[in-house]
Amino acid sequence: MRYAAREGAASVQGLSFRIQVRNTGDETITLSDVTIRYWFTDDGATSMFVGACDFTPIPGGCASVTRTFGDASAAEADRYLELGFTSAAGTLAPGATSGEVQIRVYSERYESMMQTNDYSFDATLTALTPWEQVTAYSDGVLAWGEEP
């Protein structure tokens, strides 16, 4: 799992980041078996969150990237965005990457959000970098990273 911040400001109207799935194993993986969690705080937002995919080279494009929100109970993460993939996303051979997936998270009212208190955020990571605070799962089992 690789991560990069797209917006480094402390206070933003939406979180913005890039991720990339990399198959470091010896066998081909099916992307529909993979989920990724980006952990953040809701900062008191009063409206629903939206997860937007701006770009991905994955087969099927952004339509093959699913986005759902869940609750967490950590100081640096009371919410998470879970990204998944439909069967149209295909597979990754050993050593292959998904390419860059560009994601935004914002509230329906575009309320201000503070990134610096978010578990998964790191403003210094502007190039795709292995980052254990964005977690990845294979068939629901933690395969990469450390949950908050």
| Pick from 85, 30, 80: nearest CA to 57 | 85
Strand partners, 114: 11
Look over the chain and give the mean of its residue pLDDT values, rounded to a whole number.
Answer: 97
pLDDT digits (tens, 9 = 90+) for 57-75: 999 999 999 999 999 999 9
| Pick from 32, 38, 1, 44: nearest CA to 17 | 38
pLDDT digits (tens, 9 = 90+) for 16-60: 999 999 999 999 999 999 999 999 999 989 889 999 999 999 999
Q: What's CA 22's distance to the chain center, in Å?
A: 14
Q: Alpha-carbon torsion 56, 5, 103, 136, what sign?
A: positive
The amino acid present at 64, given as its one-letter code, is S
Residue-range domains of the chain with CATH? 2-137 (2.60.40.710)
Whole-model pTM: value is: 0.96
Q: What is the mean pLDDT of residues 119-144?
A: 98
Q: What is the mean pLDDT of residues 4-27?
A: 96
